[in-house]
Amino acid sequence: MKLRPLTHLKQLEAESIHIIREVVAEFERPVMMYSVGKDSSVMVRLALKAFHPGSLPFPLLHVDTGSKFREMYEFRDKFAESIGEKLIVHKHAQAGEINPFDHGTQKCCAVLKTEALLNALSAGAFDAAFGGARREEEKSRAKERIYSFRDSAGQWDPKNQRPELWNLYNGRVNKGESIRVFPLSNWTELDIWQYIYLEKIPVVPMYFAREREMVVRDNQLISQDGPMPLRKGEKLEKVMCRFRSLGCYPCTGAIRSEADTVPRIVEEMMTARISERSTRVIDHDTEGSMEIKKKEGYF
């Protein structure tokens, strides 16, 4: 019998499911990060497929900075309830005290994201953490292995990573060390949206274009979704736009767009020439910003 070749999306799906199952077989306490974004939603769908009809053999973990968009919080709670899986929400003790306006994006991100993440992983004694990062989305993430080794401090050394020949992954770690796992490493943004369309995966409505009140700040379209002082000369204006990447509202820009459905987003992605993370302020606060954050323990 002649077997039909898999489509490229089915190949990516099969690879991701294999990686997720491999981690569960190798590690004692895995956890899956859930950021509420499109990549997380795809990763969770793949995990549900990997262990269907059973439940997930690991919890989901959301690191809450306290500054996510309101629509993200609403979607997170509804999504967790709809799939019936355990969701751990971890918030740093200083979440209400630190903000990017008074303390700068570097300190805010270091405490509320990186430090909070490391605390959450330590508190749960998790030895493997799934993340939805893709090599295609950012230059430092292009250096990542699928199994990204982290030392006992949770830090990443891009020069000290393990080879992954023939899709074989080395999961050996000493006590206190861990692995960050990226099942979507070989997916592109276009692949993600095509898969969302085919699988009918629900995503945060912020991904779809509509008229929103925005302020232009440092060439970014920023939403005043919560407390955010306007600078001198700034004013809110209505803009037809959508978000390609989601994060904290003061540090996440939108793009001007008319794409208000998944098919229209897929069409838009086919001609996109700018990185989806070009709208993330934290990626540009210093030269090599993302790589520095990753070395300190960030995803």
Tens digit of pLDDT for each residue in 155-202? 878 888 888 888 888 888 888 888 999 999 999 999 999 999 999 999
The CATH number of domain 8-190 is 3.40.50.620: yes
Which pLDDT score, from 0 to 100, does residue 249 have? Answer: 86
Question: Directed axis angle between helix 38-51 and helix 70-83, to 10°?
Answer: 10
Q: End-to-end CA distance of the chain, in Å?
A: 44
- pLDDT > 90? residue 234: no
- pLDDT > 70? residue 154: yes
H or E, element range at 103? helix 100-109
- Residue identified by tokens 């430092």 is 140
Q: Which of 11-15, 255-259, 278-282, 284-288 has the lowest mean pLDDT?
A: 284-288
Residue 152: count other Cβ atoms within 10 Å of its Cβ. 11
- pLDDT > 80? residue 102: no
CB neighbour list of residue 126: distance below 8 Å, 6 or more residues apart: 29, 30, 31, 61, 178
- pLDDT > 80? residue 139: no
Which pLDDT score, from 0 to 100, does residue 254 have? Answer: 92
Environment class of 47 (CB within 10 Å of its CB; exposed 0-12, middle 13-18, buried 19+)? buried
Q: Which of 105-119, 186-200, 253-267 has the lowest mean pLDDT?
A: 105-119
- pLDDT > 70? residue 281: no
Report percent pLDDT > 90 for the chain: 55
Q: Which of 74-78, 224-228, 263-267 has the lowest mean pLDDT?
A: 224-228
Between residues 121 and 158, the one the model is more confident about:
121
Find the mean pLDDT for residues 248-252: 87
Please, what is the Cα angle at 220 between 218 and 225, to 5 degrees? 110
Which pLDDT score, from 0 to 100, does residue 284 have? Answer: 52
- pLDDT > 70? residue 298: no
Q: How confident is the model at residue 290 (pLDDT cuts 50, 70, 90)?
A: low
Query: How many whole angstroms separate alpha carbon 124 and alpha carbon 60?
Result: 11
Are 146 and 169 within 8 A, CB to CB? yes
- Residue identified by tokens 């262990």 is 51
Domain residue spans of the chain: 8-190, 205-283
Q: How confident is the model at residue 273 (pLDDT cuts 50, 70, 90)?
A: confident
H or E, element range at 50? helix 38-51
Q: How confident is the model at residue 1 (pLDDT cuts 50, 70, 90)?
A: low
CA distance to 184, 212, 247, 256, 294, per residue, from 209 (Å): 25, 9, 17, 8, 31
Between residues 164 and 24, the one the model is more confident about:
24
- pLDDT > 90? residue 251: no
CB neighbour list of residue 189: distance below 8 Å, 6 or more residues apart: 134, 136, 137, 244, 269, 272, 276
Between residues 93 and 216, the one the model is more confident about:
216
SS3 content of the chain, % helix, strand, coil (to 5): 40, 15, 45
Which pLDDT score, from 0 to 100, does residue 296 have? Answer: 61
- pLDDT > 60? residue 283: no
Q: How confident is the model at residue 74 (pLDDT cuts 50, 70, 90)?
A: very high
The average confidence (pLDDT) of the chain is: 88
Between residues 164 and 60, the one the model is more confident about:
60
Rg value, the chain, Cα: 19
- pLDDT > 80? residue 134: yes
Find the mean pLDDT for residues 59-87: 95
Token pair recorded at residue 247: 């994060």
Find the mean pLDDT for residues 233-242: 89
